[in-house]
Amino acid sequence: MDLKLERKLALVTGSTKGIGKGIAKALLDEGARVIINGRSRKAVDEVVEELSQYGEVYGASGDLATMSGAKEVITSVDEIGDLDVLINNMGIYIATPFEEIDDDEWMKMINTNVLSAIRMCRHYLPKMLKRNSGRIQIIASECGVKPLSAFVHYSVSKTALLGLGRSLAEMTKGSNVTVNTILPGPTWTEGTAIYQNQRGKNEGKTIDEIIQEYFTIYDPSSLIQRFATVEEVANTCVYYCSDLAAATNGAPIRVEGGIIRSI
């Protein structure tokens, strides 16, 4: 299938590792030009160099949890060209008991997970509407519709992103621009591996036991009973960046292995 992404310009926020880096690689494999983002210029430069073997890659470092960082990224991106694809991927995941999350930590979560996407969409959606062409994706989580008590502020941030995605999609009516929200479930990234391996060490369990326990205790409704791969999530995102996916707009797209038990 030709996804017709050749030479399209895509920004993937938070793409120095994990799902974002996977999406960047998958877009490059389809011939798109990709802009890597992360807070640290060094990390961005390293990934730009690593991925350059697959295609045309640029860097735009900046902390999207702040307005000044967002401006820095926007300046770098606008020097490269008009964005065809914006993937709002970056997000943080903190487990804190609800009663211990103070206002500062709430604001950090909202700034990092929600306002980062708002800042980017506020700049790029009007431009895409003017050109009558573009794809925006917001990476939420299955936690946005199946909130976890151990991750209240994370879950709330992801529910907000689902609302944001649908609200912005309403603005695209009659145009060739789409805004969709992606809901990954548990995904095996470098970060997941470090976290789960550490748990195994602390509890004297093998990684297989830890994974089995995860799907017995935390996500028993998972139909695949395993973590998704970064590539599985990335390939889904890339398809919805395509012109071929023009009829999917304002949709929550699930890549969560069937955890969410609803029709």
Residue 144 makes contact with ligand NAD by CB under 6 A: no
Distance of alpha carbon 44 from alpha carbon 4, whole angstroms? 27
Q: Which residues pair with 36 in a beta bridge?
A: 12, 59
Residue 195 makes contact with ligand NAD by CB under 6 A: no
Question: Which range in 57-65, 77-85, 101-109, 117-125 contacts ligand NAD by CB under 6 A?
Answer: 57-65
Taking the complex as a whole, the smallest distance from the CB of residue 217 to ligand NAD amounts, in Å, to 16
- CB nearer to ligand NAD: pick between 15 and 137: 15
214: Cβ contacts below 8 Å, ≥ 6 apart: 186, 196
Distance of alpha carbon 125 from alpha carbon 127, whole angstroms? 5
User: How does DSSP classify residue 219?
Assistant: -
Active-site hit among 154, 195, 239, 240: 154
Please work out the total of residues on this chain that contact ligand NAD, with binding judged by CB under 6 A: 27
Residue 175 makes contact with ligand NAD by CB under 6 A: no
- CB nearer to ligand NAD: pick between 67 and 246: 67
Residue 144: both structure tokens together: 């946005």
Taking the complex as a whole, the smallest distance from the CB of residue 190 to ligand NAD amounts, in Å, to 6
Beta strands 177-184 and 57-59: pairing type? unpaired
Which spans in the chain are helix H?
18-29, 41-51, 67-80, 103-109, 116-131, 152-170, 190-203, 207-213, 230-241
Site for ligand NAD in 216-245 (CB under 6 A): none
Distance of alpha carbon 238 from alpha carbon 67, whole angstroms? 28
- CB nearer to ligand NAD: pick between 1 and 223: 223
Question: Which range in 119-127, 187-195, 206-214, 244-252 contacts ligand NAD by CB under 6 A?
Answer: 187-195
Q: Is the Cα torsion angle 71, 77, 80, 83 positive or negative in sign?
A: negative
> Does residue 154 have an active-site annotation?
yes
What order do you get walking across the sheet with 33-36 strand by strand? Answer: 57-59, 33-36, 9-12, 85-88, 134-139, 177-184, 252-255
Contact letters for ligand NAD, residues 61-100 (x by CB under 6 A): --xxx-----------------------xxxxx-------
Taking the complex as a whole, the smallest distance from the CB of residue 85 to ligand NAD amounts, in Å, to 16
Taking the complex as a whole, the smallest distance from the CB of residue 42 to ligand NAD amounts, in Å, to 11
Residue 24 makes contact with ligand NAD by CB under 6 A: no
Residue 186 makes contact with ligand NAD by CB under 6 A: yes
Residue 136 makes contact with ligand NAD by CB under 6 A: no
Cα distances (Å, whole numbers) of residue 70 to 26, 176, 244: 24, 26, 30
Backbone angles phi, psi at 86, to 5 degrees: -120, 120
> Given the rule CB under 6 A, which residues bind ligand NAD?
14-20, 37-39, 63-65, 89-93, 112, 139, 141, 184, 186-187, 189, 191-192
